[in-house]
Every structure is written in structure tokens, then in C-alpha cells.
Amino acid sequence: MKMAEKFYALSRRGFLKSTSAAVMAGTLLPHMGLAKQPVGSTNTLKVGLIGCGGRGAGAASQALQADPNVVLTAMGDVFQDRLDESYNALVEMYPDKVKVDKTHRFIGFDAYKKVIDSDVDVVLLATPPAFRPDHMMAAIEAGKHAFCEKPVAIDAPGVRKVLAAAKKAKEKKVSVVSGFCFRYDYPKRALFQKILNGEIGEIKHVYTVRNGEQLWSKPRQAGWTDMEYQLRNWLYYDWLSGDFITEMMVHSLDLMSWALGDKNPISATGTGGRQSRVDAIYGNAYDHFAVEYDYGKGVKGIHFSRQQDGCSTTNRLEVAGTKGNAFIGSGKHEISGKVNWHYSGEKNDMYQTEHDELFASVRNGKPMNDGEVMARSSMLGVLGRMVAYTGQTITWEDALNSNVALSPAIDQYSWDLKWATAPVARPGITKAF
């Protein structure tokens, strides 16, 4: 398969939209750690990509289509092959918009700094999530607008760093847009507006379920250190991914939070484990979770998920209110009860809309800030993992104030670093704090 075909799904508009718009000279304004594009400017917006995997290449493609005058000028990754693969795909799709010369293709654990320092306006953060808080903070401190893939953190210290970075973004007047893409989906926006307007009454319960199959893993190659092996298989290491409730199911938890008005729960209780995905190649990740989030006054959010082959699959959200129910699943967005409604309006590509709105905010000088929402939704995943791993009921306050960091400090990473992956958690034995 040709590279461009492989990555074609990354592009809503594909080659047709790949324009020959001139790549203009950069802005003349001095860079002082503040957003440098004057409001209404049509100057070229330069984009840097940090984490050049599948989603990173997708985000770059969407960024390049979001505005008539955007170019990709810097890329960073820890692996040359991953960067090359994405670069080759993107340059084939957008020959006039990918202007990343060899000196701006950075490899290594400090590649993020080099991308950020390379005079870009917008950075796209799409590494495994353990790195996100530090990458985001560095980007915001340098006055860059940031697109931050979900989740934005895998532990409480990371969530607090993201909150601090989001606050700083407001001071610096730069945009922070999250990869919680369902927030950018028109059908979901219409449905949640109705829920939040009270059309199904007061919300009593939200149930989310996402049962899927096992995901990819990469066989160990000769010469790989433990760090390389684990980074290439980052999904299965809690200290890189946060486990799959934090890494993937966080989308469902984000919808749950949205339906409940984006308030913090009081506490959570849960369980989980691994039954199918038991081989050493699956690191210390679980393959199923079930968590109850207690929002007080009898209001609960209940989440259930698994990644096990050979089982039934589903992906649904059900919201029970005092006057009716809301449902998302199988492509449907519906309300039933006192009001009966289903979405029949315009459908959009939510991944593209994220970038359309981000770049519009940069152009019109009205910074967006998804910081608090993306931090809370990520923390729901962290709390879910904590209660499932330990078997304890844990309050939101205790979880958020925890100083337990799962990963090495950002400047400790090296290919020879032997990071002791925790054993597979055992409820009742594993400690949270």
C-alpha cells in the first residue's frame, strides 16, 4: 500500500484540498513568549508536531486543512522511523504545506523542546500521554498555542500540571484545544445541549460502556533496550498510558462528565483485572474495568469497559433523567420521554472541527481554553484506575491531591533507564498512596 493511501484516512479532504498556497515568510514580530500572531493576521501559521505516530500525523493533516495559510515546519519524535513514516505520508499529501527540512526533524527525548523553540506558532502534542503535562507546560511557557491529544495526564501530579499550564495559557492569551474530540462532534453538541437545558429533567444516572477487542503490540527486536520496547508498546505500561481506562475509555468518561455538567464526583469505587490479556507482552495493563462514580444526592456515573478478544462489542452512552432518557450508540443520538428527538442535522468530522476552531481562535485573537475540562476528564480516568487497582473507595479530593507520580521525571528519560514497571495491580493489596 502506498504511504499516502495508508494515511489517506487522516485527511477529510485528502489531496484535493492540498493547495499550492504560497508558503510565505514568517511574521516579523519578535517572539517574547506571547502569542505572536496579530489579530486578523493572515500571516503564515507555523505548526510543530510532537509525537509523530498515527494520531499525530492525523492531527497534522487536520491542522494543515484548518486554515488557508498553515505550514508544518517542525516535527519531533523519539524514533526516527516513526517520524520518517509520518513525514513521508504528510509531504506526499501536502507537498506545498509540509516544509520540515532535515534540520527541523528532531529525534530524542528532548525533541519536544527543539520543536517548541523552532519558531512555530502552534504545537500539536500527540505522544503517549505520560509526557503531555511537561510538553504542554513547555509549549505554553513559550507562548505557543497547543492542541493536546487526550488524555492530557496519567496521574494526579500530571493533572495538576495541566491545570497550571491551562491557567498560564489564559495569562499568555494562547489557545489550548483538547483531543476530547466528541466535544467537537455536531450531533453530540446538539444532544448535550438538550441534556444540559433540562429536556430529560434532572440527571440521575449516566451509564457508559465500551467493550472492544485487543489492540496492537510490537514484537521485541534485537538491540531494543527495555525502554525502547516499552515505549514502542506504551499502551500496556501504566506509567506511559495510564492503562486503558485512562488512555482510551477516558472518551466515555468525558461524555459522562459532560452529561453531568462537568462537575467533580465526590468519590469512586471500582474493580478490574486481566483475564485474557495475561502475557508478559501486555506489561501491567488490565483488560477490564468497572467503576461507579458517586456525584452525591443519588447521582451516579457508571462505566464498564473491556479489551478482550472473542467477546461481544459495544460502545454506548445512556443517560437517565427524571423526565426521559438520552442515548448515544450505533451512530444514533436520541432523546426519549417527555421529549422525543433524534439528531438529523449536519454531520461533521469532529477531528477536523477541533482544528478548524483552534485555528479560527488563533486568527481572531479569542483564545480557546479546554484546559479545565480536559484535566477533569483525564482525572476521571486516573481515579477510575486508582479505585480499580486498589479495590478502595477513593475521594476525588484525595485522588487529585495525590503525589504519586507513575513515570520518571521528564529529564530522567534515557534509552538505558530501567524504570521498574509495577506488578499487575491486585485489588485489596495494591496501595493507592
**Subset of 359-398 contacting ligand NAD (CB under 6 A):** none
112 binds ligand NAD (CB under 6 A): yes
Least CB distance to ligand NAD at residue 6 (A): 13
Instruction: Using alpha carbons, select from 331, 329, 377 the residue that is nearest to residue 211.
Output: 329
Q: Which is nearer to ligand NAD, 137 or 181 (CB)?
A: 181
Using an 8 Å Cβ cutoff, are 83 and 52 in contact? yes
Number of residues that bind ligand NAD (CB under 6 A): 26
Sign, CA dihedral 131-132-138-144, equals positive
Least CB distance to ligand NAD at residue 393 (A): 27
Least CB distance to ligand NAD at residue 384 (A): 15
Q: Which is nearer to ligand NAD, 160 or 251 (CB)?
A: 251
**Helix pair angle (54-65, 80-93), 10° resolution:** 30
Q: Is 373 helix (H, G, I), strand (E, B) or coil?
A: helix
Q: Which is nearer to ligand NAD, 158 or 179 (CB)?
A: 179
186 binds ligand NAD (CB under 6 A): no
Whole-Å CA distances, 94 to 14, 52, 86: 9, 16, 12
- E-strand stretches of 66-202: 70-77, 105-107, 122-125, 145-148, 176-178
d(C-alpha 109, C-alpha 240), whole Å: 14
Least CB distance to ligand NAD at residue 113 (A): 10
Q: Residue-wise over 77-94: b if at least 16 C-beta within 10 A, else e?
A: bbbeebbebbbbbbbbbb
Least CB distance to ligand NAD at residue 404 (A): 20
159 binds ligand NAD (CB under 6 A): no
50 binds ligand NAD (CB under 6 A): yes
Using an 8 Å Cβ cutoff, are 358 and 350 in contact? no
**Nearest residue (beta carbon) to ligand NAD:** 53
- Strand 122-125 vs strand 145-148: parallel, antiparallel, or unpaired? parallel
Residue of 71, 75, 78, 379 interacting with ligand NAD (CB under 6 A): 78
Q: Which is nearer to ligand NAD, 181 or 317 (CB)?
A: 181
Residues binding ligand NAD (CB under 6 A): 50-56, 76-79, 82, 109, 111-112, 126-129, 131, 149-150, 179, 181, 231, 247
